[in-house]
Amino acid sequence: MPTLYTMPGTCSLAANIAVAWTEAPISVRNMEYGDHKKDDYLAINPKGKVPALQFDDGEVLTELAAILSYIGAAHGTAGYARDTKLGRKEAEALSYMISEVHAAYGPHFAAQNFAESEGAQHEVKQGAYHRLRGHYEWMEERLSDSGGGFYLGEKSFADAFLYVLTRWIDQTPLSLSDYPQLAEFRNRMEQDKGVQNALEQQAMEPMG
């Protein structure tokens, strides 16, 4: 059985939710923070990041988008990374969330990678929060346009990663209360059994 490597607080939660939603025959191994930099895991994923999906033959798939694509293609139904209108919109939404929104968190999580002095790090963080504010406004509007239930109007893996983003915002000076559609979305997601199972597997608590 393939093994999905995860870690609390990371984007790997979205892959864990995808496994739960599709009931894919994939085991989840949740590591403690810091284990992703140890030799045992680096032998699996030299990038030292999660998630990683290791197959029985030793092949390893990394990067969240690739893992979600595999789960959808191998185990999903209509909305999960399939070649349907919803599947294509899902790929578009995930590309935006991962390449734009996730990337914008870089200075927040590791300001030292962008500047050396404390003052400069503070500046790059403020710039990141400005960009993130625009992203959350965009996602709030898109969620509202879709009817407020799911990001694309129907359940998809985009909702799994959007849920992660509604958790991360609490670590910043931004407030989810400024985005009522996203706040309601997070509350609804935390009533979902698959989300609850994924949180429990990763030793995480609901935010609501």
126-134, Cβ contacts within 8 angstroms, sequence gap of 24 or more: 128/104, 129/172, 129/173, 129/174, 131/104, 132/101, 132/104, 132/105, 132/108, 132/169, 132/172, 132/174, 133/174
Query: Tell me, what's the pLDDT at 176?
Result: 98
- What single-letter amino acid sits at 114? F
pTM: 0.94
The answer to whether the beta carbons of residues 41 and 93 sit under 8 Å apart is: no
Q: Which residues of 6-19 are buried (b: 16+ CB within 10 A; e: fewer)?
A: bbbebbbbbbbbbb
pLDDT band for position 78 (cuts 50, 70, 90): low
- pLDDT of 79 strictly over 60: no
Domains of the chain: 3-78 (3.40.30.10), 85-192 (1.20.1050.10)
Query: Tell me, what's the pLDDT at 52?
Result: 98
The pLDDT of 14-27, averaged and rounded, is 96
Query: Tell me, what's the pLDDT at 42?
Result: 97
Query: Tell me, what's the pLDDT at 195?
Result: 98
- pLDDT of 81 strictly over 70: no
At residue 81, the 3 state secondary structure works out as coil
The pLDDT of 43-63, averaged and rounded, is 97
Query: Tell me, what's the pLDDT at 82?
Result: 66
Higher pLDDT, 75 or 2: 2
Question: Could you read off the pLDDT of 164-203 as tens digits, one per residue?
Answer: 999 999 999 999 999 999 999 999 999 999 999 999 999 9
CA dihedral 48, 52, 56, 57 (to 10 degrees): -60
Question: Could you read off the pLDDT of 89-103 as tens digits, one per residue?
Answer: 999 999 999 999 999
Query: Tell me, what's the pLDDT at 111?
Result: 85
- pLDDT of 38 strictly over 70: yes
Q: Please report how many Cα atoms fall inside a 13 Å half-sphere around the Cα of residue 69, on the Cβ side.
A: 14
Alpha helices in 63-150 (DSSP H): 64-75, 85-96, 103-104, 106-109, 118-145
